[in-house]
Structure 1
Amino acid sequence: MGNEFYKLSVGEKIFKIVIYLLIIGLCLSIILPFMNILALSFNAGKDAERGGIYFWPRAWSTENFKEVFMSANVGTAFGISIFRTVVGTVASVFLTAMAAYALKGKTLPGVKFFTLLIFFTMLFSGGIIPYYMLLKSLNLTNTIWVYVIPSLYSAWNLIIMRTFFQQIHPSLEESARIDGYNDFSIFMRIIMPLSRPVVAVIALFNAVSHWNDWFTGAFYVRSSNLRPLSTLLQEMLMQAEAMRDTLSQAAGANYDALEKIQVTGNSLKMATIVIVVTPIILIYPFIQKYFAKGVMIGSLKE
């Protein structure tokens, strides 16, 4: 805390100590469960069923991860997930930013109507069946573009970006127009460079959503070659648990086979969690400084 801590009053010292304790408690509540998941993922599933594993594996094993990567479609699933995450995130951020820039001012005819219309979509949903019928009528089902096109725009993300754009001083745009810049040039050369914090936040939200989404691949895609990693891992997990339950019900006839199985449904689940969250953990440190600024959007007004 430094020497400044000793210069504070008793009340301020107590307040600071409480805040630090709360932050430490919050950090531990996030780190410790993940350490437990990591330990279980690298522990033999059969041994883990005995319990007593907290933050360090008791019987080291990579069988859980081997079981995941032994799938014939895992390479294709990785490619699908990377494609949809990169293309979907870049396209969504760019198009959402363009729409937010158009709605930020009062020069667009009917700007209030369009803003209200966009906000209305946040309050009501058509439902899964009408949504599926819409995708089918657009020939998006069972194609790779079903992961990208429907998620290009988000009303919430658009409002966040519009709020940030409104905080950029209008004099910058006026100076650019005097220098001969058109709207697109102002957007690309002034607005976007100044909006890195909000762009980083929206990009992170989009990337996490794309990477973790298993629902779209499970319900709107029939081909196994078009399923992303999250959907494939979800199916593998369900199959492993179903196989385990089947062998358990027939333990008398399959006792030897049951004993040979070292990968359990729970251990496979832990390995799946580690595989899914690792890319996000690796990317986050590079955009942390922008994310910290972006979460303060709208908190200050000039």
Structure 2
Amino acid sequence: MDFHKLSVGEKVFKVINYLIIIALCLSIILPFLNIIALAFNPGKDAEKGGIFFWPRIWSLDNFKHAFQAASIGVAFKISIFRTVVGTIASVLLSAMAAYALKSKTLPGGRFFMMMIFFTMLFGGGTIPFYMLLKSIHLTDTIWVYIIPSLYSAWNLIVFRTFFQQIHASLEESARIDGYNDMQIFMKIIMPLSRPVMAVIALFTAVGHWNDWFTGAFFVRKESLRPLSTLLQEMLMSAEAMRDTLNQAAGTRYDLLLKIQITSNSLKMATIVIVVTPIILIYPFVQRYFAKGVMIGSMKE
């Protein structure tokens, strides 16, 4: 509708909406631009202040320091492997389980859904979870990143809700044509479920890529540390080194002036390294979000 044809109240409402949306966008974009500026600026110079959305001195020292770890190449491979394999396996298995649970003829279906929902409200705790992983020999293996996260109660519920919106006549027609359950799922349900699968896949991939907790607490082998865990350890080491130097240097500011990388600048570079792959992937699935956000909003 033409803006000029709107009433005064409608114009005011639209203007206020646009201002709120612009303010929300700026609240997200401007802090990230500041992070990028600090990441590409020498840390010692950044401590003087005055850097907002553009580096005062362009430098790659922060990134060189982040990538100088000998095991960072292996960490990248571990992160890529767990993200790709974990996301594909989790989305496929969760979708299959949700397809079975959405059936009204499934014996005990209501009980299973109640138990799945129960896991969203209560957890066993970190120590019992570690003892369970150790008893089934998953600790210190690459599969500790994948197998425990194959199923998510939230993902199951979202998948089930979406599948329930697909008209039952499609399945009935397929069964008349001789399709079994697996054929119906692979050839009918999955093609119609691309929006929800893309959304769940992105959320799952982000969770795998950003997860540093599993590598820090359930893996002791250096060769199995993912990128996020390695960068987290480097960041903690940098902060500890800064505190040590501040205590040891005392009034000898010449020692501190030689250090161009600070814990804060390394933190900003770490954020850019971790976030960049997700930002590069997001445009390819963004078109599904408009459909995926409507999941569960309509009922026949």
**Normalised TM-score (structure 2):** 0.98
Shift of 1:47: 0.3
2:73 maps to 75
Q: What are the Cα deviations for residues 45-69 of structure 1, in whole angstroms up to 9, with x where unaligned?
A: 0000011100000111110000011
Distance 2:18 2:225 in 1: 44
Counterpart of 1:269 in structure 2 is 267
Correspondence for 1:281:
279
Q: Which amino acid is 1:109 matched to?
A: P
In structure 2, what is the Cα distance between the partners aligned to 1:104 and 1:9?
Answer: 47
Measured against aligned partners, the alpha-carbon deviations of 1:258-294 in whole angstroms (never above 9, x if no partner) come to 2211100000000000000001111111101112211
Aligned counterpart, 2:242: 244
SS at match of 1:13: helix
Deviations, residues 41-99 of structure 1 (Å, cap 9, x unaligned)? 00000000011100000111110000011000000000000000000000000000000
Which residue of the partner structure matches residue 257 of structure 1?
255
Moved over 3 A (4+): 252-257
Following superposition of structure 1 onto structure 2, how do residues 283-302 of structure 1 map, counting pairs within 5 Å?
A: 283-302=281-300
Q: CA deviation at 1:107?
A: 1.4
CA shift for structure 1 position 296: 1.2
Distance 1:114 1:108 in 2: 10
Q: Which residue is equivalent to 2:97?
A: 99
Name the counterpart of 1:29. 27
In 1, distance between residues paired with 2:222 and 2:289?
36
Distance 2:116 2:72 in 1: 38
Q: Distance in 2 between matches of 1:292 and 1:66?
A: 39
Worse-superposed segment, 36-45 or 245-254: 245-254
| Residue identity (%) | 78
Match for 1:103: what amino acid?
L
Cα distance in 2 between the residues matched to 1:35 and 1:250? 35
State the one-letter code of the partner of 1:88: G
TM-score (norm 1): 0.98
Unaligned runs of 5+ in 2: none
How many residues end up aligned between the 2 structures? Answer: 300
Q: 1:69 to 1:254 in 2, by over 3 A?
A: farther
Which AA in structure 2 matches 1:182? N
Question: 2:190 corresponds to which residue?
Answer: 192
Amino acid at match of 2:101: L
